[in-house]
Amino acid sequence: MTTLSRKRRAAWTGGLARILVVAIPLGFLAAAFLYPLGSILLTGLSGEAGGLAPFGEVFGRASLRGVAWFTLWQAIASTILTVVVAMPAAYVFARYDFPGRSLLRAAVTIPFVLPTLVVGSAFLALLGPRGALGIDLSSTIWAILLAHVFYNYAVVVRTVGGLWAHLDPRLTEAARVLGAGRWRAFRTVTLPLLRPAIAAASSIIFLFTFTSFGVILVLGNLEFRTVEVEIWRQTMSFLNLPVAAALSVLQLAAVSLILLTYSRYQQRRAVEQRLAPATARKPQTAREWWTVGGTLTFTALFLGTPLLLLVERSLQVGEGWSTTAYTSLADASDSSLFVPATEAIANSIGFGIVAMMIALVVGILAATVIAYRQGPVSQWFDLLLMLPLGTSAVTIGFGFLVAFDSPVDLRTSPFLIPLAHSLIAIPFVVRTVVPVMQAIRRRLREAARVLGASPFRAWREIDLPLIARSGLVAAGFAFAISLGEFGATAFLVRPERPTMPIAIFRLLGRPGDLNFGRAMALSTILMVLTAASIMVIERFRLGETGEF
């Protein structure tokens, strides 16, 4: 009787655990993502004329049509420019092994994980009215395009370069032996093989630039506005929620169409390739050394100059050099932020820790379902959890603002901020942990079950130690994402609890050299914290785990 009771209890406990593993991620996604999106849709359809009045206003106003057109063409231009500028670096990191290659490859990734507001501030330090060039280019389209190239440079280097490193170089050599020049060999042999990776990188860049917010807000000065910026403007400046909701719905439809088009393209263009082991070798000829040296010099100047100028501007207030901008961050008498700027640092770190914990718990549970279950259920579960990655942060923040006003008004709750941050970070956690879980041999779990371990104990004793390292990588991603998140936070933050990106934006909007210097100082601190997170990621990464 006792043995039977134990078996029943173990079976009941195992069944409950399996239900919770699925129910917790689904419940979180339904409450924090699907419900706010549904609320946006209802708000957008709540107007007159059959509920389509807000959409009619969007299509009928020339200014809003102009915003949509600018959003589209700047994303196309940014994508093409980024691919062209970053391809030489992708080639060098893929084909050549040189001193410091791993460290430099990690450093190239730092701009990608930097908060967009820091990127905007860095280019403001370079091209703004107080910029190093002495020419105010901050409100031109070129400043925006260059900032987008800077931000997405690593996507091409790591996505295209990752495939390029495993292409058999003998294919190109054979074409050269048959008389093809360097350009023709690249165009007819290498480029077709790289097409899937270029398409993947282009889709990521287009998605990020199509939904660009922080960079446009800082450098565009509201003269250039994407749909993201217009949603924020219609909500915060004009309180026109129906039009903002209509814009959010149309943007979500456009993003879904982009993802669907890319997915179908990949299916049609999928080709079977024989990938070789990593083929990087040391440069041998003078031409190869010049190629490596020239490409790395350009990369260092292009990526390093804005960041170094950010630090330089934070140390230059008025005449000479000083740390006034940093020491004044603790000044409680300044009313521009309502609280000392140091509290913004503490708020960001606190929100980041909470968001990281939520993202890890939900993401690891979701990864368990995806990794251990086979078939359509696992695929649909994976697709559903990836949806927040294709949804703009502004839409998520606006959805929270619309959805959580009844039956209890939670819009003033500080918990909504890390909740929104974790929603954005969960896809990164899932994509980081799932490959490691899938690599764990089932025989280990089966042996533990034979020895009497419950499913939970088998997972705790076998899987958890093995995924702990990838969990640290996922935690670094989640923390870095939370630190720099601006789009959703702009809707949810309270004046007395600003985060670092919010404080930076407020200081940039204030006149005076000291406020500009404090904005640069906060941007520098945020850059250092984010860079520390990415170095932790690189330190604990397992092989290619966590690549784009």
* All structural domains of the chain: 49-314 (1.10.3720.10), 334-548 (1.10.3720.10)
Q: Is the pLDDT of residue 81 over 90?
A: yes
The packing angle between helices 341-372 and 2-29, to 10°, is 130
The string of pLDDT tens digits covering residues 362-384 is 988 888 887 776 666 666 777 77
Structure tokens at 501: 């990106």
pLDDT the model gives residue 548: 47
Report residue 1's pLDDT band, with 50, 70 and 90 as the boundaries.
Answer: very low
Residue with tokens 């931000």: 151
| Average confidence (pLDDT) over 467-490 | 83
The string of pLDDT tens digits covering residues 148-190 is 999 999 889 888 887 787 777 777 777 667 777 677 777 777 7
Q: Is the pLDDT of residue 3 over 60?
A: no
Given a contact cutoff of 8 angstroms between Cβ atoms, the answer to whether 138 and 124 are in contact is yes
Q: Percent of the chain having pLDDT more than 90?
A: 11
Q: Is the pLDDT of residue 266 over 60?
A: no
Q: Is the pLDDT of residue 272 over 50?
A: no
Whole-angstrom Cα distance, residue 548 to residue 537? 13
pLDDT the model gives residue 24: 86
| Residue from 289, 220, 252 nearest 40 by CA | 252
CA dist 461 → 327, 449, 456, 468 (Å) = 48, 11, 9, 12
- Give how far the C-alpha of residue 4 lies from the chain's centroid of Cα atoms, to the nearest Å: 51
Report residue 107's pLDDT band, with 50, 70 and 90 as the boundaries.
Answer: confident
pLDDT the model gives residue 53: 75
Q: Is the pLDDT of residue 271 over 50?
A: no
Range with the largest mean pLDDT of 12-26, 87-101, 163-177 = 87-101
Whole-angstrom Cα distance, residue 38 to residue 226? 23
| Average confidence (pLDDT) over 53-79 | 87
- With H, G, I as helix, E, B as strand and everything else as coil, classify residue 414: coil
Q: Is the pLDDT of residue 390 over 70?
A: no
The string of pLDDT tens digits covering residues 498-546 is 888 888 888 887 877 788 888 888 888 988 888 887 777 766 665 544 4
Residues paired with 96 in a beta bridge? 281
pLDDT the model gives residue 294: 92
Which residues are CB-contacts of 519 (< 8 A; sequence separation ≥ 6)? 121, 504, 507, 508
346 or 455: which leads in pLDDT: 346
Q: Is the pLDDT of residue 346 over 80?
A: yes
Determine which of 31-40, 344-353, 518-527, 534-543 has the lowest per-residue pLDDT on average.
534-543
Which residues are CB-contacts of 510 (< 8 A; sequence separation ≥ 6)? 336
| Average confidence (pLDDT) over 456-480 | 76
The packing angle between helices 141-164 and 101-113, to 10°, is 140
Half-sphere exposure of 379 (CA within 13 A, CB side): 3
473 or 5: which leads in pLDDT: 473
The string of pLDDT tens digits covering residues 122-156 is 887 777 666 555 565 656 788 899 999 999 998 89
Structure tokens at 408: 């209890």
| Residue from 463, 505, 426, 13 nearest 214 by CA | 505
416 or 442: which leads in pLDDT: 416
Q: Percent of the chain having pLDDT more than 70?
A: 76
Q: Is the pLDDT of residue 79 over 90?
A: yes
CA dist 161 → 88, 233, 295 (Å) = 10, 39, 14
Q: Is the pLDDT of residue 270 over 60?
A: no
- With H, G, I as helix, E, B as strand and everything else as coil, classify residue 155: helix
* Averaged pLDDT score across all residues of the chain: 78
Given a contact cutoff of 8 angstroms between Cβ atoms, the answer to whether 147 and 120 are in contact is yes
Whole-angstrom Cα distance, residue 101 to residue 299? 13
DSSP3 helix / strand / coil % (the chain, rounded to 5): 75, 0, 25
Q: In terms of residues, how long is the chain?
A: 548
Q: Is the pLDDT of residue 47 over 60?
A: no
Range with the largest mean pLDDT of 49-53, 241-245, 310-314, 338-342 = 310-314
| Average confidence (pLDDT) over 76-104 | 89
Q: Is the pLDDT of residue 354 over 50?
A: yes
pLDDT the model gives residue 318: 67
pLDDT the model gives residue 545: 44
pLDDT the model gives residue 160: 86
